[in-house]
Structure formats: C-alpha cells, structure tokens
C-alpha cells in the first residue's frame, strides 16, 4: 500500500540525512522524497512516499517521533489530500515531430519551456499517475533526460498541518 | 572560560563522579581542563573499556554514565559500547573531540565522522559547530540520556571550540516547541486491563528491563503480583525485579529460560508485558506467535515504538512501569483472581517442580566443576550481601542468569541486547565504583576476558572489590554449543586450547588470584575470595562438555523448549 507522510522538522543541517537513515535502517524503502522550508524559516517540511502496510506505517511514524528534530508527523489519508510532482522531460523532437509532441503536452496541461532544432524540454506537474501516462506517450519520440522533484502533498479543505494543529 | 572548561564545569554541576575515558589529540584541551580542575576521571586502558565502565556505572546508579574519548580511533573505539547502551537502554553521555572546524571534512589526521557513524545507535548526537551552542547542547544531551526511555547520546566537539573562549551569552538552544503526540490517559485504559484479566483463565505477567529502570516499579509490581496472584516471568534484563524464591515467579523466559516460564508464555491466553520489547531471544518467531488471535496481549512501554514492533498488542499502554503499576493498584477491583486462576497456577507449579528436581542435582559441586554448580556455590556464598553480578557474554552468562540469585534491581549487569564479548570486566569496574560498599562478582569466559583483559590495569590501580571468576572451558562455549547442535559438530574456530596462564597475567598486574581444577581447590579459592576486600581473579577449569539447557532451538516456539530429563 502506498503511503504519503508529511513531516515537519527543524530546519538545520543533517536533518534530512537523519530522517532518510531512519527509513533505511528500519528497512523501509523510500519511493519518493521532497523537502523544502516552510513559511516559517525554522521549519522544513518533508514529504515521503513509501510502500508499507498498516503496521509498518504505524511503526515508522513512531520511530520518526523519537527523533528530537522531528516536530510533527502526519499520515495523509487516501483521497483526503492532493499530491503533485514537478517534472522536466527533454525529448528528441525535430520539425517533423514537434507538432505531435506539442499536442500531447497540451492534453496533459504541460508546457514546452525550451526548444532546440533537435530537442524540446517539457515542464509538467501532476500526480504520479499523470506523469507516468505522459512518460509512456513520450517514449517513442526518445526521452533524453528526465528529472523530478518528488511528491509534495497537502490535505484538502480546512485541515492544516502546523505545529499547533 | 574556554570550551573545555565549560564542559568540565558542566559535568561538575551535574555531579558526575567520575567520568571514564582516554586522552588523545583533539581532546587534549579537555584533559588539560580536567587536570586543572582536579575533576574525577578513571583512565581505562582502551576506549572500549571506558565506555563499558560508564555503562556499568549507569546500570547500577541509573544516572548517566559519562565517557570521554578523542577523535578518530578514540571515538570509533566507543562504537561497540554505544551500540550496547542503545540496545540495553543505558543512559550514557559520550563526549568526543573532533578535528578543528577548519579541518572538518578534509580527512585530517585522526578525523572520523563519529556523528555520522553513531547516528543509528544513539538516541541523538551532536556536532557542535558554533561555540555559542556548546552549553545548551550539553544540557539537551544530558537530559536526553534519561528522558523517557534512557539511552546513549554523543556530543562531538571540535578542538578549536574546546580551546576558544565561549561567549557568555550562549544560545538558548532549539527555539521551537518540540511536539510529541499526546499520550492516551492511562486511567481510562486500566479498566480495560482488569476487564481482560477477569476474562482470562491463563494469564502471565512478563516483566522486562523497563521495570528495573523505572524507579520504584519493582516494589509496585510485587504488590500487584501478590494482590492478583498472577504468575510472573522476567526477561534476562529484568532479573532482580522480584525475589527469585517468590512462589509466583516462574523464572526467566527466552532461549535459555525455564520450561515453566516458556511454556507459560507459549500457552497463556493473556500476556501482560511491561517494559520489554519481546525480542527474538524471547519469541523465536513473532509471526508464528501472532497467529494466535485469541490471546490478549497488553503491552506497556515508555517507548511507544516498542508496542506493536515485534508482537501484536490488543491493548497499548504508553507509560513507564512504575506509573502503570501504581495506576492499576489504585483501581484494583474487588475480585478473586486467585480462585479463577488456581488450575493454571497448579499446572505451572507441577512443571516448575519437575524442573527444580533436575537442577537441584546439577548444582551439586563435584570434581567435574559443572558451571551450574560453580555459579550456585558463589551465589550461596554471597547470599544476603546484595552482591552485584556482572557477566560477559556466552554460556557462562546464561548459567549466571539461571543460577545466581539476584537480590535487588540494578544488580544484574549483562550485555543483553548486543551480546558484547568484552563487556564484563570494564562494566564490573564501573559497577564497583558506583557501589563501593557492595561485592561485585564478575563471571567471564576464557574468550571474553581476553577481549578486554587490559582493564586489569585500572582494577589493580583502584583496588576495587571485584571478584573476577574466569569460567574456562577452553573454548568459545556458546559458539561451540551451536556448532555441536546445529553445524554437525564442526568446531570451526571455536576451540581455545592454547589459552595463556590467566593467573600469571593477573600476577603481572599485581592482582591476587588462584586456580581451581577440582571441588576442593574451588572451595579454598572461594573462601579466600570471600575474606578479601581486594580484587581477586579465580580461574576455574570447567567441565568442557557442558551445554546450556534448557534451550529453545532458534525459530521455534517457546513451548518447544528442550530440557534433558524432562
């Protein structure tokens, strides 16, 4: 089962390594990880995506709480949160294929952010499923490079993850 | 004040007496401050000795043990002891010197990333990079060692920070309120505990090391045990939590526990676990144990991550042992548990009687010098003196756990989780410093003693009342036992038939000692040992064939225990 966790941590050096090490040491495989500071510069937010069952997830949440720099951990309920990744894809693309690549990118609401005589660079954000679908369509054109940020997620509605919540 | 003086003054304020350690390169500034302040410090002969001595001190007192080492090899020599303290929940503050900040990351002389290395085996660790953080870091580290579940914390301080003036106006430490998930109220859960106990026909209370660590918990537990009549077993780490002759005490559970305790944990319909992680040495295969869906498991632990980690709980209670028992005692229902459990208790009693009939024979001392009998004789000799028993790791450790009567909590010191050979001698030194008025008995194998034998040095210098009993079967006994039982008697690298003359080594260090090859020599030595307040090294030539029983073969259920004669 895919599980997304939001973790608030103190914004200091080495924190990401501690969190990542904890997952590794307890035998959990991180599928995706994103980290950045929040509106409070003292706090960073990590979004981790793992494949784990109920008991394993409960255990990793408890272990995370034992790290003093971990301030808050939240398991994001399925269907109660949005998740997005930002991706750049550089594909082979010349004057012959440019129109069809553009059409595909349009359908997925992506953008072409750079074009050269033989390449096009696409920017797309979306759920992992959407990115997977786009990638599959672009494979025949020849994907030269791909880089993604890792999943970030936020809950729907009035639910807020903060130190006071 | 410079950084080093700040540290020494901090340790003085916390009442640290003594610190254990070993000097070297970057930590020299701190050792200069120790010299100038005449701060109490014990010099071991290896950093591993220092860290185990600090553990021994902490296990006896419950206060953080403090160990100091230099950068690089000094710090890496602490690693085994830090891991040991982590698995046995021992409060330990390790202070290491690091290379100067302008050398950090340059692979400077004696640089090793000890903060990185010890990250997975400490509760938390720090590399102090801002002199203004030194004071607050020490304070936070000190508190962390004993807060909640105790454990090791490491503070790594670069040499230039040790030598520089520390600003008066120190940083306040982490400015952010650290959040923890709120604990469930124990009061509301106590009622469900009694509900479950009323429904149970075959209950067991399993006490772990957490009951030893939690102040006052053992007396409260004893009251709970007496008022309910519940049978009680302990993990090895909880030895001393209850009088070993208590009629409801079934003994130790686990791989080398008693048949009655193991049969009970295998067959109970309710397991009340307090302060125990139920490791693989207790339940061989948790997955198999979890398949019994009818068993109610009530798991009480100060560390919520232990609950549900190995076995699946029915009721989860996040609390320390003393709090838990005082809550349940306050809410004792008017109900006669003893009648309800009479049948269960008498069936356990029958098993216990059969087992004791066998062990009563094993503990009779004769010229074969069976380890069971040797441990029993020493135990009887020190009975009533509230001795501190320290072990190393291996067969003798199990014999000591099985046959030595522990009279109070914090009096059985052993490397339980990590199984560290070489732990015994330095830990006994730490214990003797912590409790100078009590006899300290160390059982150690001929393998283990050779791992930290250099600590005969401080033992002699300090003249500590430690009795070192070398249980010599000229082999790595536990390794050989496994090879005999599970590896077709192929004794690969486990025979030590070229051991040195341990008594001559002791003599070279200026220590008293003697050798026993038969019952009479053993008794003569024991009498000398008892009469002396000085260290004594007793070298016992054991029966080499004896194996540790009972034994649960690895991966088997607790009730599949093997005991010859039963």
Kindly state whether B309 is in contact with chain A, defined as any CB-CB distance less than 8 angstroms.
yes
Tell me the nearest-neighbour CA distance from A9 into chain B, angstroms: 10
A148/A87 same-domain check: yes
A62/A113 same-domain check: no
Helix (H) or strand (E) holding B68: strand B65-69
Q: Which of the residues A7, A14, A15 would you substitute to probe the B interface, choosing the one with the greatest number of B C-beta atoms within 10 Å?
A: A14
pLDDT in tens, B227-264: 999 999 999 999 999 999 999 999 999 999 999 999 99
Is A98 a member of any domain?
yes
CB B257 within 8 A of CB B233: yes
A96/A140 same-domain check: yes
CB B411 within 8 A of CB B37: no
What is the mean pLDDT of the segment spanning B500-518?
A: 98
Distance CA A141, CA A124 (A): 17
User: Residue B171: what pLDDT?
Assistant: 65
What percentage of chain B carries pLDDT values higher than 70? 98
Distance CA B220, CA B207 (A): 12
Is A165 a member of any domain?
no
User: Residue B182: what pLDDT?
Assistant: 66
Is A164 a member of any domain?
no
HEC secondary structure over B400-469: HHHHCCCCCCCCEECCCCCCCCCCHHHHHHHHHHHCCCCCEEEEEECCHHHHCHHHHHHHHHHCCCEEEE
Catalytic site includes residue B47? yes
Q: Which of the residues B183, B309, B310, B318 would you substitute to probe the A interface, choosing the one with the greatest number of A C-beta atoms within 10 Å?
A: B309
| pLDDT over 90 (residue B184) | no
A68/A98 same-domain check: no
Which CATH number fits the domain that encloses residue A147? Answer: 3.30.70.1150
Domains delineated in chain B: 3-163 (3.40.50.970), 186-351 (3.40.50.1220), 371-545 (3.40.50.970)
Q: How far is CA B125 from CA A108, B52, B134, B197, in A?
A: 47, 19, 13, 42
Contacts of range B342-350, beta carbons closer than 8 Å, 24 or more positions apart: B343/B201, B344/B201, B344/B202, B344/B203, B344/B231, B345/B229, B345/B231, B345/B248, B348/B231, B348/B250, B348/B260, B348/B263, B348/B264
| pLDDT over 60 (residue B173) | no
Helix (H) or strand (E) holding B515: strand B512-516
Is A120 a member of any domain?
yes
A53/A88 same-domain check: no
Which CATH number fits the domain that encloses residue A26? Answer: 3.30.70.260
Which residue is catalytic, options B10, B14, B110, B474? B110
Contact A68 B179 (CB under 8 A): no
Could you tell me the pLDDT band of residue B358, with boundaries at 50, 70 and 90?
very high
Is A159 a member of any domain?
no
Could you tell me the pLDDT band of residue B177, with boundaries at 50, 70 and 90?
low
User: Residue B187: what pLDDT?
Assistant: 77
A31/A70 same-domain check: yes
Q: Where are the beta strands (DSSP E) in chain A?
A: 2-10, 30-37, 43-51, 70-76, 81-92, 111-115, 119-126, 143-148, 152-155
CA-nearest residue of chain B to A14?
B116
Q: Closest Cα to residue B236, out of B202, B264, B268, B262? A: B262
| Dihedral in degrees, nearest 10, Cα atoms B10, B12, B16, B17 | 150
pLDDT in tens, B55-109: 999 999 999 999 999 999 999 999 999 999 999 999 999 999 999 999 999 999 9
The DSSP symbol for B69 reads E
Contact B312 A55 (CB under 8 A): yes
What is the mean pLDDT of the segment spanning B343-367?
A: 95
pTM above 0.90, yes or no: yes
Is A125 a member of any domain?
yes
| pLDDT over 70 (residue B222) | yes
A123/A58 same-domain check: no
Catalytic site includes residue B343? no
A117/A94 same-domain check: yes
Could you tell me the pLDDT band of residue B481, with boundaries at 50, 70 and 90?
very high
Q: Which of A59, A66, A71 sits opposite B176 (nearest CB)?
A: A71
pLDDT in tens, A81-124: 999 999 999 999 999 999 999 999 999 999 999 999 999 999 99
A70/A97 same-domain check: no
Higher pLDDT residue, A107 or B174? A107
| pLDDT over 90 (residue B470) | yes
| pLDDT over 80 (residue B174) | no
What is the mean pLDDT of the segment spanning B174-187?
A: 63
CB B204 within 8 A of CB B268: yes
Q: Closest Cα to residue B273, out of B226, B206, B214, B323? A: B206
A–B CB contacts, 8 A cutoff, strictly below: 44
User: Residue B392: what pLDDT?
Assistant: 98
Domain of residue A86 covers: 82-152
pLDDT in tens, B389-442: 999 999 999 999 999 999 999 999 999 999 999 999 999 999 999 999 999 999
pLDDT in tens, A24-64: 998 888 999 999 999 999 999 999 999 999 999 999 999 99
Choose the final residue of a domain: A76, A99, A123: A76
User: Residue B178: what pLDDT?
Assistant: 61
Assigned token pair, B471:
């249980």
Helix (H) or strand (E) holding B60: helix B47-61
A92/A71 same-domain check: no
Is A160 a member of any domain?
no
User: Residue B299: what pLDDT?
Assistant: 97
Which residue is catalytic, options B109, B361, B368, B520? B109
Longest dimension (CA), chain A: 57
Choose the final residue of a domain: A50, A76, A102: A76
Number of domains in chain A: 2
Q: Closest Cα to residue B31, out of B11, B12, B10, B8? A: B8
CB B528 within 8 A of CB B510: no
Please, what is the average pLDDT of chain B?
A: 95
Is A124 a member of any domain?
yes
For chain A, where are the alpha helices, taking DSSP H only? 15-25, 54-65, 98-107, 128-138
Choose the final residue of a domain: A59, A76, A93: A76
Could you tell me the pLDDT band of residue B383, with boundaries at 50, 70 and 90?
very high
A89/A26 same-domain check: no
Distance CA B457, CA B314 (A): 52
| pLDDT over 90 (residue B345) | yes
A89/A67 same-domain check: no
For B229-314, where are the alpha helices, taking DSSP H only? 259-267, 286-290
Could you tell me the pLDDT band of residue A163, with boundaries at 50, 70 and 90?
confident
């Amino acid at each position: 089962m895919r599980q997304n966790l939001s973790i608030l941590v103190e914004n200091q050096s080495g924190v990401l390594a501690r969190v990542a090490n904890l997952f590794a040491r307890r035998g959990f495989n991180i599928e995706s990880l994103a980290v950045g500071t929040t509106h409070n510069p003292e706090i960073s937010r990590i979004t981790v995506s793992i494949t784990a069952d109920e008991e394993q997830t409960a255990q990793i949440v408890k272990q995370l709480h034992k790290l003093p720099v971990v301030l808050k951990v939240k398991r994001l309920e399925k269907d109660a949160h949005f998740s997005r990744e930002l991706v750049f894809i550089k594909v082979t693309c010349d004057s012959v294929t440019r129109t069809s690549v553009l059409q595909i990118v349009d359908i997925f609401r992506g953008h072409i952010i750079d074009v050269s005589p033989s390449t096009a660079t696409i920017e797309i954000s979306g759920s992992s499923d959407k990115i997977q679908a786009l990638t599959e369509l672009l494979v025949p054109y020849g994907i030269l490079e791909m880089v993604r940020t890792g999943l970030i997620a936020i809950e729907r509605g009035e639910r807020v993850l903060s130190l006071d919540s | 004040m410079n950084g080093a003086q700040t540290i020494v003054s901090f340790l003085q304020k916390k009442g640290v007496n003594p610190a254990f350690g070993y000097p070297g390169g970057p930590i020299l500034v701190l050792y200069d401050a120790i010299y100038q302040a005449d701060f109490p410090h014990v010099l071991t002969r290896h950093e591993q000795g220092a860290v185990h001595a600090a553990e021994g001190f902490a296990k006896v007192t419950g206060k953080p043990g403090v160990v100091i080492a230099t950068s690089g090899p000094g710090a890496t020599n602490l690693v085994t002891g830090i891991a040991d303290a982590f698995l046995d929940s021992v409060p330990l503050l390790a202070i290491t010197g690091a290379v100067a900040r302008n050398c950090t990351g340059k692979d400077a002389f004696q640089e090793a990333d000890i903060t990185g290395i010890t990250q997975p085996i400490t509760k938390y660790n720090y590399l102090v990079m801002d002199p203004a953080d030194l004071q607050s870091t020490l304070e936070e580290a000190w508190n962390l060692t004993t807060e909640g579940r105790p454990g090791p914390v490491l503070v790594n301080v670069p040499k230039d920070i040790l030598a520089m003036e520390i600003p008066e106006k120190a940083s306040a430490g982490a400015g952010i309120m650290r959040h923890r998930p709120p604990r469930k109220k124990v009061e509301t859960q106590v009622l469900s505990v009694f509900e479950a106990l009323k429904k149970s026909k075959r209950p067991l209370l399993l006490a772990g090391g957490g009951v030893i660590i939690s102040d006052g918990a053992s007396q409260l537990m004893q009251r709970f045990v007496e008022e309910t009549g519940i049978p009680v077993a302990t993990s090895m780490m909880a030895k001393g939590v209850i009088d070993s002759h208590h009629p409801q005490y079934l003994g130790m559970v686990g791989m080398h526990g008693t048949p009655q305790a193991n049969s009970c944990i295998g067959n109970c319909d309710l397991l009340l676990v307090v302060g125990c992680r139920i490791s693989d040495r207790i339940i061989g295969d948790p997955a198999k144990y979890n398949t019994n869906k009818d068993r109610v498991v009530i798991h009480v632990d100060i560390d919520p991550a232990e609950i549900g980690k190995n076995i699946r709980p029915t009721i989860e209670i996040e609390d320390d042992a003393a709090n838990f028992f005082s809550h349940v005692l306050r809410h004792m229902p008017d109900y006669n548990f003893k009648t309800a459990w009479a049948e269960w208790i008498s069936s356990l009693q029958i098993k216990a009687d059969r087992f004791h009939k066998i062990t009563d024979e094993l503990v009779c001392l004769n010229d074969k010098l069976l380890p069971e009998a040797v441990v029993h004789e020493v135990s009887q000799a020190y009975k009533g003196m509230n001795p501190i028993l320290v072990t190393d790791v291996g067969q003798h450790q199990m014999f000591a756990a099985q046959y030595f009567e522990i009279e109070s909590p914090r009096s059985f010191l052993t490397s339980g989780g990590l199984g560290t050979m070489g732990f015994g001698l330095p830990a006994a030194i730490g214990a003797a410093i912590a409790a100078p008025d009590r006899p300290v008995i160390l059982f150690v194998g001929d393998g283990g003693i050779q791992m930290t034998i250099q600590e005969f040095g401080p033992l002699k210098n300090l003249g500590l009342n430690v009795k070192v009993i070398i249980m010599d079967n000229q082999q790595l006994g536990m390794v050989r036992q496994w090879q005999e039982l599970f590896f077709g008697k192929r004794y690969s690298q486990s025979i030590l038939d070229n051991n040195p003359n341990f008594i001559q080594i002791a003599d070279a260090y200026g220590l008293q000692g003697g050798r026993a090859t038969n019952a009479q020599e053993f008794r003569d030595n024991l009498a000398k040992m008892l009469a002396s307040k000085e260290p004594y090294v007793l070298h016992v030539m054991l029966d080499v064939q004896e194996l540790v029983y009972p034994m649960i073969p690895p991966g088997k259920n607790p009730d599949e225990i093997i005991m010859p004669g039963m």
